[in-house]
Amino acid sequence: MAYQSTNPFNAEVLATFVEHDAAELESRLARAADCYDNAWRNTTFAERAAVLAKAAAIMRERTDEFANLITLEMGKLIAQSRGEVQLSAAILDYYAENAERFLAPEILPTKTGEAIVESSPIGVLFGVEPWNFPYYQIARFAAPNLMAGNVIMVKHASNVPQCAQAFEKLMQEAGAPAGAYTNLFISKDQVAQVIDDVRVRGVALTGSEAAGAVVASRAGQNLKKTTMELGGSDAFIVLEDADLERAVKSAVMGRMGNAGQACTASKRFIVVESLADAFLAQFKAALANFKPGDPMNKETTLAPLCSEDALQHLLNQVQQSVDKGARVVIGGARMDHPGAFMEPTILTDIDTSNPAYKEEFFGPVALFFRVADENAAIALANDSPFGLGGSVFTQDIDRAKRVASRVETGMVFINRPASSAPDLPFGGIKNSGYGRELSGAGIQEFVNKKLIRVA
């Protein structure tokens, strides 16, 4: 597995990194285990918080430095890269400020004696992280678990190695001891080796269904706790009493953010018949306004996909969909522009036999469905192998809440596209994975809930 930084805007190879050999991997594993046993687990919440708060401050002070690496390596619009840096810093601060409260001992009511549940760290944790949000994905795994007293090892995506190194250096600069946070440049075979290693006690993955199945299976063979944040095909439900202007604006944000390369991006637009034509016309007009260009230029509105391979995969998906009867409303092809650019695309007339009906499209491709009523919208939203997030648009908030309760996902947002914040739990069900990150829930995944009973 080559760790290579390639600018998707101009195909320039920026840097190449050598995978760790067996000796280097063993050295890093041993250092992490030693750090946990003899240093980090014995620190106080205040000592851990000081490290995370310092890391957050550094990210804010050097926002452009961190953001530029994101844009250069995976092509995100620079304004969105800066936003990701700020969100990552906020997550670090959030756990620095709240972890001790989240993990405070819980006194259980008993008829006799005492019963106390303590939360304690479990050891070395291994994370496999994706490229689409190079710092945010790490922050939401590392911050709660470092504050819980665990130590972290991360195998990042092979196309964002500079971001991977930058986060490791950030933690070192913030005062984390050697081994508290470790970046790994390793192969797939070495990933299996790390999961098998007895010093590793938990595994987290954010990525595809296929990767999740492989990693969860391997961890399961070793009886190790896992969390999986996998793909999504989020439904965007527009009911007949929705604010149309707001719904269209949110649809554009929900589909086009990060060039559509987000697991929680709005992907299936399900609109009740009475608004369907007007919504589709306005949505199409809005997507036609996106302009490709250098993502470092603040005037650019359409970023490239992360790589040429990602573009080709998306183009193949669109072609297969059309071959099976889907109709292209707008876009559908590669842009006549240097770089890995995909035309903003809308597909409709997608029946249940079309592969697009069940697939995730990771890029600026929207699937449009018209339905008769609320019940049909909910049924279509739930007819998916995924269950990550979703949105409901109606001016009747009580109605929106009732619909949200019937949608089978881990998250539902009312009158807005999906978003993320440090204090909101993040995660899904079905093929979108299991476990939660962020909020108070995120810090509870990899701790020992130890009962202490006094008779």
- Quote the CA–CA distance of 32 and 50 in Å, as a whole number: 20
Question: Is the CB of residue 26 less than 8 Å from the CB of residue 49?
Answer: no
CA angle at residue 149 from 126 to 42, to 5 degrees? 130
Three-class DSSP category at 231: coil
Neighbouring-strand partners of residue 181: 152
452 secondary structure, DSSP code: E
- Quote the CA–CA distance of 157 and 127 in Å, as a whole number: 11
Neighbours of 447 (CB within 10 A): 21
- Quote the CA–CA distance of 62 and 189 in Å, as a whole number: 36
Question: Is the CB of residue 403 less than 8 Å from the CB of residue 237?
Answer: yes
**E strand or H helix at 229:** strand 225-229
C-alpha 268: how far from its chain's center? 18
Burial code (b: 16+ CB inside 10 Å, e: under 16) for 414-427 equals ebebbbbebeeebb
Torsion of CA 39, 40, 42, 45, to 10 degrees: 150
Catalytic positions, written as ranges: 229, 263
- Quote the CA–CA distance of 72 and 75 in Å, as a whole number: 6
Q: For the chain, what percentages of helix, strand and coil (3-state, to nearest 5) are there?
A: 45, 20, 35
Residue 2 phi, psi (nearest 5) = -85, 130
Torsion of CA 438, 5, 78, 90, to 10 degrees: 20
User: From the CA atom positions of the chain, what is the Rg in Å?
Assistant: 23
